[in-house]
Amino acid sequence: MKNFFLYLIISVLSAGSVSAGIMFTKVGFVLSGDTLKINKGNYRQQDSEIIVYFNESDIAPLNVRIIFNELFRQYSAVKDALVYNNSSLANINALKLLEDMKSKTNGIDVLNKDDRWLMFINNYENIRRKIESATFISDQRFLFNEISVGMMKFIKQFGLSDKTVYLMQCATDTPVGNALWLTDSRDTKNPYLGLQNDTTCAKVKEVWKFK
């Protein structure tokens, strides 16, 4: 991992005072603000969306990132079960995700040397009991928020392979209002509300691009 970051901000002004910023960081470079994207030689405005490009040299080796692709797939299965209000399947998929996180990463050096990952492994049984005891979908949605926060941290730290991930957010007056989740498409179906109570408030907050 590199221990230094390069920060460079380039401002582009066009008609109507529309601006864009490009910031080079540890994760590659970030397009922020009212982002201008080049589309066949023209600028196209994209509303308040941050696009993050991750440098391969600053994340885990390819074999680790491929494993995290599999973990992300299982995370998505938990999300989808909650979207469709399937409490039983959400519980099964969450336990499977937890088991995969332990079994599929066993013996991987870069993880065994990471304090955050070791903390997760040391708390494995406690987390498992927590998932098993969450039998009501409302409890599972609270737990999914914790799972999402953990996955976000691990994915940003270790990366994915050849993947674009969308960080979603929907501000609501529910107990889990403003909660975040990850998806691999611009899918606004909200796991915290389910299809029956979903609204159109979900939006893309960030886009993470991995080579």
Residues in the chain: 211
pTM of the model: 0.78
Taking the domains of the chain in order of start, what are their residue ranges?
Answer: 9-58, 62-206
Helix (H, G, I), strand (E, B) or coil at 149: helix
Tell me what pLDDT residue 76 has. Answer: 98
Tell me what pLDDT residue 179 has. Answer: 84
Tell me what pLDDT residue 170 has. Answer: 79
Q: Please state the rounded mean pLDDT for residues 140-149.
A: 94
Q: Cα-flanking dihedrals φ and ψ of residue 196, to 5°?
A: -65, -35
Half-sphere exposure of 184 (CA within 13 A, CB side): 16
Across 31-35, 111-115, 142-146, 156-160, least confident range = 31-35
The vertex-127 CA angle with 122 and 129, nearest 5°, equals: 120
Q: Please state the rounded mean pLDDT for residues 102-113.
A: 95
Cα 179 to Cα 25, 98, 201: the distances in Å are 26, 21, 12
